[in-house]
Structure 1
C-alpha cells in the first residue's frame, strides 16, 4: 500500500507529536538534574554537577538502588526458571487445562498493577500470614516477570520445532541430556533477552511494590516517590530518576538488538 504525500506528512506529524509527549518530559528531568536551583523550575537558572555528586553520596538512595538490584535479580532468576519450565510444558506436552494454564500465566501482566498489588497484599497478610518484607516484593515481581520469559521462550520453542530433540532421543539421550545439549543452546538468546526484559520490568516497578513492601525497606522508585516533594531534594531526585531511566533502557535496548539479530539471521 502506497501513501499519498498528505498522508505521509500527517502520519509523520502525529508520530512526532506522540514521541515529543513521551520524551520531552524525560529531557526536562535530565536538564533539571544539572540545574543550580533547589526546586524543579524551568528554565534552569544555571547548571552544575553538584547534585550528581550529592546523589551518589546519598546513603538512602544507594541503599534503595541496591535493594532494587537485589529484587530485580532475584525475581528475574525465579522468572527464568519457572517461565522456561512452564513454556516447555505448554509447548511440548498435551494435557487437560493447558489453555487455561497459559491464560493464567499471562494474566498478571494484563491486570492493572493496583489490582495485582491489592490481591498479593491480601494473600500475604491474611491467607499466608506473612510479614511484608523484601521477600514478598521479590515474589510479587516474579509473578509478572515470568510472563516476559514465558513469551520469549514459547516463541523460540515454536520456531525450533522438535526434530533435533526427537533425533537426540532416538540416539539414546535422556530428557535432561537432550535439554542440556540440544534444547538449552537454542534457547540461550531467548532466555537472555527475556531475562533482560524481566530485570528492567522489575527494576522500575512501583505500583505492585507499594502494596507488597514492608516498612523501612525502599526500592529506588519508592525512594524517588518519597523524596520528590521534600525540601532541597528535587535536584537529587532528578539525578536518581535519570539513573533509573538509563538502567531500565539499557536491558531493553540489548534485548531488542538480540531479537533483531535473530530475525536477521533467520
Structure 2
C-alpha cells in the first residue's frame, strides 16, 4: 500500500519540483545580475565564475534613496491591509448571516467591480484625487487600493464564514449573545487563519500595484514598483541596479510569509476543506 502510494506521489513531487525550479529561474538570474559587474552580467556566453559585489545593492538602497520608497510601499500596504481586512471581514460576516436571495446578487456585483480593468479606473481616481488635493499622498493610494481589492477580500472571507458550523451560532444565541457578540466571541476565533490569508493577499495586491501608483503618487509617496521602473533603458548599469532593487522588493514579502507561515498554512488548509 505504501509502495503504491509512493509510486503515485513521486511523479507529482518531481513535477512540482521542476515547476518550482522553472519559476525560480528569473529570480536566480536577477540575483546573479545584481551581484555581477555589467561586463560579467551581460557577457556572451554567460560568465559563471565571477567576483560577487554588493555595490549595486548599496547604491540603489542608500545612494539613490530606494529605502524611502520602501517605507512608502510599506505604509500604503499596511494601511490597505488594515482597512480592507477589517471592512471585508465585517461585510462578509454580515452577508453570511443574511437569509435572503439578494446576497448572491451583491456578491456578483462585487466581483463585477473587481473585474473592471485598473486602466479604466486610473483616470477617474486621478481626477477625484486632484479635485480634493490628495495627489501624491499615502491616503489616496490606500483609498484606491481598498476600493479595488475590497470585493476580493469579502469573497474570500465569506468562504471562511460559510464554513463556521451553524450550531455554534445557535449555541451562542441560546447563551444570550447578540449578533455582534457572536461575531467576536464565536465566529472570529474560528476564521482567524482566514483573516491572515486575506491579509497576505491584500498585502501582495497593494505592495505590487504599479499603474495606480504611477498615476496617483509623486516624489513624496512614490512606491517601489514605480521607482524601480525608472532604471533600465540603454545603460546596462541601470539593469544591474534594477536587478538589485527587484531582489530587495522580494525580501519584505518573504519576511511577512515567514513570520506568519503557521497561520497561513492553517488558513489555506481551512479554505481547501469544505464541510
TM range (shorter): 0.7 to 0.9
What is the TM-score with the length of structure 1 in the denominator? 0.80
Q: Counterparts of 2:36 and 2:216 in 1: how far apart (Å)?
A: 35
Equivalent position of 1:131 in the other structure: 134
Q: Counterparts of 2:79 and 2:39 in 1: how far apart (Å)?
A: 36
Q: Counterparts of 1:53 and 1:38 in 2: how far apart (Å)?
A: 19
- Greater shift after overlay, 137-146 or 210-219? 210-219
The gaps in structure 2 that reach 5 residues or longer are 1-10
- Closer, same or farther: CA 153–164 of 1 in aligned 2, 3 Å: same
Equivalent position of 2:160 in the other structure: 156
The 8 Å contact of residues 39 and 235 in structure 1, kept in 2 or not, is answered as no
Secondary structure in 2 matching 1:243: helix
Among candidates 59, 84, 87, match of residue 92 of structure 2: 87
The 8 Å contact of residues 91 and 157 in structure 1, kept in 2 or not, is answered as yes
Query: In the TM superposition, what is the alpha-carbon distance from 1:69 to its structure 2 partner?
Result: 0.3
Equivalent position of 1:193 in the other structure: 197
Query: In the TM superposition, what is the alpha-carbon distance from 1:54 to its structure 2 partner?
Result: 2.6
Query: In the TM superposition, what is the alpha-carbon distance from 1:143 to its structure 2 partner?
Result: 1.9
Q: Counterparts of 1:145 and 1:154 in 2: how far apart (Å)?
A: 14
Equivalent position of 2:225 in the other structure: 221
- Closer, same or farther: CA 64–240 of 1 in aligned 2, 3 Å: same
- Closer, same or farther: CA 56–121 of 1 in aligned 2, 3 Å: closer
The 8 Å contact of residues 75 and 138 in structure 2, kept in 1 or not, is answered as no
Q: Counterparts of 1:219 and 1:124 in 2: how far apart (Å)?
A: 17
Superposition map of 1:242-253 within 5 A? 242-248=247-253, 251=256
- Closer, same or farther: CA 265–87 of 1 in aligned 2, 3 Å: closer
The 8 Å contact of residues 73 and 223 in structure 2, kept in 1 or not, is answered as yes
Cα RMSD after superposing both structures: 3.2
Equivalent position of 1:113 in the other structure: 118
- Closer, same or farther: CA 250–107 of 1 in aligned 2, 3 Å: farther
- Paired residue total: 252
The 8 Å contact of residues 57 and 244 in structure 2, kept in 1 or not, is answered as yes
The 8 Å contact of residues 93 and 183 in structure 2, kept in 1 or not, is answered as no
Secondary structure in 2 matching 1:33: helix
The gaps in structure 1 that reach 5 residues or longer are 1-8
Equivalent position of 1:33 in the other structure: 34
Query: In the TM superposition, what is the alpha-carbon distance from 1:30 to its structure 2 partner?
Result: 1.7
Q: Counterparts of 1:80 and 1:122 in 2: how far apart (Å)?
A: 27
- Greater shift after overlay, 65-74 or 142-151? 142-151
